[in-house]
Amino acid sequence: MPTSPAQPPRPEPQPTESLLPEPQPTASRRPQPRPARRLPPGHLTAACLTLAALLPTHAHAAPVTITAAWSGTAYRLTLRGLTPTDGTLRAEPDRSGATLTFRAALPPLNRTVRTATGDLTITIKGHTVTARTADRRPLRVNLSYIRPGVIPGQDATTAIDLYPPESWTEYQPEPTTPCTPSRPGAGVPGAGVPSAGVPELPYQPPTFATGPVGFYLAQIDPRTGTPLRVITHDPDSLYPLASTYKQVIAWAAYRDINAGTLTLNTRLTVTEANRSIETYQPGTRTVQNLITQAITRSENTASDILHLHLTPQRVQALADAHGTCHTRVNMTTKAWWAAQAGLLPGVYGPDLPTSAQQAFTAPPEQQAATAAQAVTQAQTLNADTLLNALDRYFYSPAYHPQTEVYLQNRSTPREWATLITRQYLDPTLTPTNRSALRRTLAQGCCRVNDPSVTYWGSKAGSGWRNLTMSGLLTLNTGQTFVYAYFNTGSDLMDSALIEQQLPSVAQYILQNARRIGKSTP
């Protein structure tokens, strides 16, 4: 696996005592919680998507050959010998078809495919592939580069998957009951408690997103964290957190540093057991390096090493102690990916969808025990083998977006935003450690380059049809906002493409913060 270069720690700014503005980093990094070595797929959106060049640019050694057959719930065109160094996908305005254009000439094809709800017509001529539904029903199209070994016995291929209307699986946000005003033994108000009497502005949905969106944005008192005005949508339903949960790992690490049980120079070693999927830095690494890489590059291995050292039980206890009642942060990335890939049958059994739902609805003590088993057993797996198995799972009929909230770390928009507020305000941290944590989070994805923003702390995450972003920002007016954006079940598959929405998500958050700011008397 390729490795990421080490980044030296930034010099510390002067510590602060509240959420008032601090110096900004010069850049942020885009998260990569899914493989970056696959060609981004295209889907039916209003925009024209330009595909990145992820394959070699050498000339074709042989003519392109195409095979077409059902692959699970999708009708797949497999293009062998194609190097899609440049291509576009354009959607019909009514979403009933798509046109794909490649540099390479393709063999001609005219085919009608019968489905349960009507016919699909596929035409290939010259450099162009067109797909349409005869009855003008929505058709979802996914263009992707499938790495060698993902499909057993098959070399790398480019695939065009056509999903007729009846084959598409939708995500249904899992409803919850908001936390009670206080939890016995917690010592703080419930983190997901709606604030009575707080003015709420109307929700305006993001125009770029498809699928369910959970959203919570609040202007807060920068010293107490009290919500002053809010914009919400489905704030009390559960969504998978993806990599946005990694900021709580950084928080837990700084609490141990603050307590003197850990230092930034403590060295932890990457092993076969604690290595997760995708790119990573091998060897023995400092806690400073691990925290930085987990936030700036969303490195799964760095996050998992810290998570295992801190222990998932203690990280979960941190969330519980701050009044959450639905938030779960006790799964390492390797554990939830292994569970989704079906590589933990000893934990979840042979019928993954049923077992995952049973684990999700089990009593809290049993949920915790199952998560602990998954974390332990995942450490016996090779990360490269896991990555191939995971890709096969996502391309198979076994995938359903509902399993992500069952198996991954999860929260509600309201609970998560409130927990993030308490992370930034944590009175147990010294001013120096609080400032260092804030500085690290300011290096996360995806600050808008706007002079009105004086602080932007963020962590994003992505996955198969899943995009998340949460954090805190301060405007030059002194107004401070906390936000949580969750989009699961998007029409866009694979993080490489859905991550292209991250700048739009950040702009959407900033626009809503300004809406609240302008409404302030």
Rounded average pLDDT over 189-195: 66
Confidence of residue 347 (pLDDT cuts 50, 70, 90): very high
* Whether pLDDT at 517 is above 80: yes
Asked, as a colleague might, if the bond just before 445 is cis with ω within 30 of 0, I would say no
- C-alpha–C-alpha distance, residues 342 and 323, integer Å: 33
Segment 421-457, tens digit of pLDDT? 999 999 999 999 999 999 999 999 998 999 999 999 9
Q: Are strands 140-146 and 174-175 parallel, antiparallel or unpaired?
A: unpaired
- C-alpha–C-alpha distance, residues 269 and 286, integer Å: 9
Place of tokens 């009642």: 325
Provide the whole-model pTM.
0.84
Which residue in 429, 434, 477, 431 sits closest to 457, CA to CA?
434
| pLDDT at residue number 86 | 55
- C-alpha–C-alpha distance, residues 172 and 168, integer Å: 13
Instruction: Give percent of the chain with pLDDT exceeding 90.
Output: 64
Q: What is the mean pLDDT of the chain?
A: 85
Q: Please, what is the Cα angle at 272 between 269 and 278, to 5 degrees?
A: 95
Rounded average pLDDT over 365-381: 97
Quick one: how far is CA 283 from the chain centroid?
Answer: 26
Torsions phi, psi of 407, nearest 5?
Answer: -105, -25
Which residue in 400, 418, 449 sits closest to 195, CA to CA?
418
Q: Is the dihedral of CA 231, 233, 236, 240 positive or negative?
A: negative
* Whether pLDDT at 246 is above 90: yes
Segment 36-87, tens digit of pLDDT? 333 333 333 222 222 332 333 344 446 788 999 998 888 999 888 765 445 6
Torsions phi, psi of 124, nearest 5?
Answer: -120, 125
Domains in the chain, ordered, with CATH? 49-167 (2.60.40), 188-519 (3.40.710.10)
Name residues whose C-beta falls within 8 Å of residue 262's C-beta, 6 or more positions apart in sequence: 253, 256, 287, 309
State which of 25-39, 106-120, 299-313 shows the largest mean pLDDT. 299-313
Q: How far is CA 438 from CA 245, 307, 322, 373, 425, in A?
A: 15, 19, 19, 33, 10
Tally of CB atoms within 10 A around 105 = 13
| pLDDT at residue number 83 | 55
Residues 150, 389 contacting (CB under 8 angstroms): no
β-strand partners of 460: 469
- C-alpha–C-alpha distance, residues 290 and 307, integer Å: 10
**Structure tokens of 465?**
């049809």
Name residues whose C-beta falls within 8 Å of residue 255's C-beta, 6 or more positions apart in sequence: 318, 426, 428, 429
| pLDDT at residue number 3 | 33
* Whether pLDDT at 281 is above 50: yes
Residues 174, 189 contacting (CB under 8 angstroms): no
| pLDDT at residue number 466 | 95
Torsions phi, psi of 291, nearest 5?
Answer: -60, -45
Q: Which of 50-54, 216-220, 273-277, 384-388 has the lowest mean pLDDT?
A: 50-54
| pLDDT at residue number 12 | 34
- C-alpha–C-alpha distance, residues 113 and 123, integer Å: 11
